[in-house]
Every structure is written in C-alpha cells, then in structure tokens.
Chain A
Amino acid sequence: MAPAKTKKSAKVVASQEEDITMDDAPVAPQEHEDEEGEEVAGEDQAPPEDEDTLEQRITVLPGGTEQAASFQLKEEDHTLGNALRYIIMKNPDVEFCGYSIPHPSEALMNIRIQTYDGTAKDALSKGLDDLMDLCDVVAGKFQIARDGYMNSEAGKADQPEA
C-alpha cells in the first residue's frame, strides 16, 4: 500500500475490504485499487491549478458492491441529482437509481445505483455522458428555433413597410 495514501482513498479501500466479505466481491481488482490509490496520492503532492479538482468531488459510500453502490457528490443538489437520476434510469442495465440530499445544510448529494449488468460506476459514467448528449441536442434545437423565430419576426416587421 502506498505510504502517502490520503485519508479519503484509505476510506474507499476500507469500504472495499468490507466488500470482500461478501461472496460476490472480486478479489482481483483489489491490487488494482491500490495502484490507483497511489496515483491519487501523487496528484495530491502536485495539486493541479483548477480548484475544483483539488479535492475529490465524488466518493463511494461504504457498503457497496460493484453492481450496487452509493456515490456521494459534493456541491451538488436537486439540479443535477434529479436530472442524473432520470438519465440513469433510462439505462436498461440499471435496476434502480435514486438520489437524496441527506441534510439540507450540507452541500452533499447521494446517488444510489444498482445494476443488472455492468458496474454502478459505469452506469454513472454513462449517465453523465448521456446527459451531455442531451444538452447538445437541446442547445442545437434551441438555437435553430430562436433563429427561425427571429427571422420570421424580422420578416413580419418588414412586410408593412414594403
């Protein structure tokens, strides 16, 4: 294990250790876990400039498995929570998705994902991707509709003069 491990990554590993007591938890990824833990510790030594990436914004809450996990997102609320819940529920591999804000005065949002197939983390990742695609479609359609409307309005305004 990396000596310079951060508190948070230690917590995550602790939750993983809990997991291996369950029969379906894979043992092999454990070592992989440690490698990545090292990477995070390395990052902490040389913090990137962007403030948002300084601290880990997503953590996995203890007690999860690969296919069923709760993620804790910092500085997020119903704005992203509900939209993300919707788009993750649209994924046919997802058995359950729900979100909650455990306490109104803490800027934390928990999102629970259980899958039939694939990992919960992949489902979350796919959800974020899908939501970004959705944003692109909405932005594109909105601009076309606005330009069309403004042109037709300009046409209407011109007509009486002509």
Chain B
Amino acid sequence: MAPFVQPSEAEKQRRRIVGVNAETVTDVGSTDFPGHYPGEDHSWDAEKFADTFQVNFHKNEKFNSSFSLVGIDAAVANAFRRIMIAEIPTVAIEYCFVMNNTSIIQDEVLCQRIGLVPFKGSPQGIREWLKWYKKPAEDAPKDDQFNTCFDYNTIRLTLNVECTRNPDAARGETDPHKAYHNAHVYAKDIKYEPFGRQHKYFSGEGAIAPAYPDILIAKMRPGQCIDIEMHAIKGVGSDHAKFSPVATASYRLLPVINITKPILGKDAEKFARCFPRGVIGLETVSEKEAKAGTPYEGHAGEKKAVVLDAMKDTVSRECLRHEEFKDKVKLGRIRDHFIFSVESTGQWESDELFLESINLLKAKCQKLKSALDDMNV
C-alpha cells in the first residue's frame, strides 16, 4: 500500500475552522475519518491522540471551573458534558412526609421546593458507602412501605419550625425578621438525623447539610408552623434535575477572528466597538510594517485593529453587518477546541465532576464490552 499522505500544517489549520458568516455557518461536521481525504491516515491511534490532545485550565475554583479541551471530537466532548449533567449521582430529597403545614404555601409546592435544595456531605460517604435506594414493591402492604430503607441508602432529615412573635421587638416594628421568630424558613433549618452506621461517615465536617444555608424555603407568620420529615436518596439527573450535580456544564468553541485586510483609523475604533471589550486592540502601524508593497503601505503612524483575545468574543457577528468591514474580516470557531464551563451545585468539586464523567464513560464501555463478549453471536 502506498505510504500515507501528510496534509500541510496550513491545510490542517484550515480544516479545523468552522466558518461563521452573516447568515450561514459552514464546515460544521468533522472530516477526520479514514477515507474522507484520499491517501491520508485518519484511523484511531491512541498515541497520536495523546500527542495532539491538550487540556488548558482557565479557572479552577472549588465549585466553578473552566478549561479547554483541544484536539478532541465533539461527539466525545458532548458525551462528557451530558454525563456531567445527567448521569453523575448525587443525594437529594425524594420523599417528604408532611406532619403539619399551616403556612400559606401548599404541601406539594413546599415539598417540591425542598426537593430542589442541594446538599453537601462527606464525599467518601456519599460516593462510596451510600448505595442506590430501591423502591418497595408497588403492591407491598402498608407496614412494609419502608422495608427497603436502610442506613446505607436513605438519609433522614427533618424540618420543624414554628413562627412566633418576638416579645422583645419594638412596638410597631414592621420588619418581620425583628418582629417574629422564624418568619423566614431557610435551608439551614433542615436538620440531618443520622441513624445506623451513618455517624461513621457523616459526622463533623462530613455531616449532611444544605450546600447553601440561606436558601429561602417558605415565609410564615406567628401561629403557623411546618413539620416535615424527609428522606434523601441517591439519584441521577436523568431522573430529575434536582439530582444533577451541576448548575451548568456547557462548552463553547474557541472563536477565531481573522482580519484579512487592514482596518485603520476611525474604522479600527468602530471595529473594536463591534466586539466585547478586550477582544480587539488598536496598535500604531510602524514604519517597518508600512514598507512599500505591504497592505499597510503609506499608513505609518495610523491606528490599526488587531486581535488581542479571541476567547473573550461572543461571536455576535456585529462586525459583519457593517459595509466598511466587508471582505476585511473572517469569523469562525475552532471545531476541536472546547471551552468547558462546569459550575457545581456543591456536592462535587467541579474538576472532580469532569474526572468522574470520564470514569463513567469508561465504565459504560467496560460494561458493554463484557455484555458483548457474553453475547451469543
């Protein structure tokens, strides 16, 4: 077989770009498949992938991180994103037993709100020790309703608050916080009730508690009370969004701005205003650049538009709406440069979430592989 053809670097770069025009988007799909370009090798090679694939971090706060994956296909990047949203398990309240609720917020609405409160707790306890809760059989007798609840699959929580008048408040006080006790019910009022072996995993720093204590759950007035017992279980985002460990897990492609012909003087200023701040900068054309025969000939000392940081761009395409920039700029995005943004709800750390999504994808493959090996074909 003939040796493989190597495309030039310029050609490789050209292939990476998705064109963004005023009304159309071009070259959307990947073309890095065997047989697409005659004579070229595009077969999967883990070593080649390891050489070209890159990760760059932009931000790594505990619950909010941003990083770039460069040299990976959208199919795989999207798999990681989808797994982060819908398949990484977290603990959330699933069952509410309303003993008493005399507040004006209806039982079902209150329970729905409670279910959405994100919780934190010992990572080891939640991820390794805590198991999936299995629903009791549909036709199980009433006494057996909780025969599948164990310390290793159910977290018990209670919310018991009563609103009372504050006898120390000034006469005519209008601020409910001062006039009453417990006028506002917050997430921090939900108390964790460990049982069985749970104290081993969920005590001290690792106790189960709302990730954000100041989430407002309900408002009350003197004489009203709420008394609810809750069971939190492990679940996944594909079942209900409350189990999703991320507020957002998204990616965007790195924008490219290619200034093909000089944009000078007043036009350059206008051009810079077409983009978010910091994307386009103004530089003075030097004598050297303005040599005869170059596009800048005779423009020494004028301001020219240069691209400072394309990553900050939103690709609004505003610059394509103006006649004076016609044919002077080409917008695009890099098809295999994914700028991820992972914002956690507090049960997982953002960077761990991404690593866990990789683990889950791998585990999925592993399971299917053994199922395939067992298959009688």
Contact = CB atoms under 8 A, between A and B. Distances in A.
Interface string A57-91: 11110000000000001001111101101110111
B83 A128 contact: no
A82 B78 contact: yes
A86 B369 CA distance: 17
Interface in A120-162: 121, 124-125, 128-146, 148-150, 153
Contacts of B358: 135, 138-139, 142
B372 A135 contact: no
B55 A136 contact: no
Interface residues of A, number: 58
Of the candidates B86, B355, B367, B372, the one having the most CB atoms from chain A within 10 angstroms of its own CB is: B372
A123 B33 CA distance: 15
A2 B49 CA distance: 46
A106 interface: no
B109 interface: no
A89 to B, nearest CB: 5
Contacts of B67: 142, 145-146
A56 B46 contact: no
B376 A128 contact: no
Interface string B33-60: 1110000001110100110011111001
A89 B44 CA distance: 9
Contact of A150 (B33, B42, B60, B83): B60
A135 B362 CA distance: 6
Of the candidates B78, B355, B358, the one having the most CB atoms from chain A within 10 angstroms of its own CB is: B358
Interface residues of B, number: 51
A43 B374 contact: yes
B338 to A, nearest CB: 11
B179 to A, nearest CB: 45
A148 to B, nearest CB: 8
Contacts, number: 156
A122 B284 CA distance: 61
A91 B43 contact: yes
B330 to A, nearest CB: 28
Q: Is the interface of B mostly helix, strand, loop or mixed?
A: helix
Given A40-B376, A80-B79, A91 B364 contact: no
B75 A135 contact: no
B178 interface: no
Contacts of A82: 75, 78-79
Interface in B67-94: 67, 69, 72-73, 75-76, 78-80, 82-83, 86-87
- Which 7 pairs across A and B sit closest by C-beta, in order of nearness? A149-B57, A145-B55, A86-B75, A90-B44, A36-B376, A92-B34, A83-B79
Interface of B: 30, 32-35, 42-44, 46, 49-50, 53-57, 60, 67, 69, 72-73, 75-76, 78-80, 82-83, 86-87, 351, 354-355, 358-359, 361-362, 364-377
Interface of A: 9, 12, 16, 33, 36-37, 39-40, 43, 52-53, 56-60, 73, 76-80, 82-83, 85-87, 89-92, 94, 121, 124-125, 128-146, 148-150, 153
16 contacts: A52-B367, A53-B374, A57-B367, A57-B371, A59-B375, A60-B377, A79-B364, A85-B75, A86-B30, A94-B34, A130-B44, A131-B76, A131-B362, A132-B369, A135-B358, A135-B362
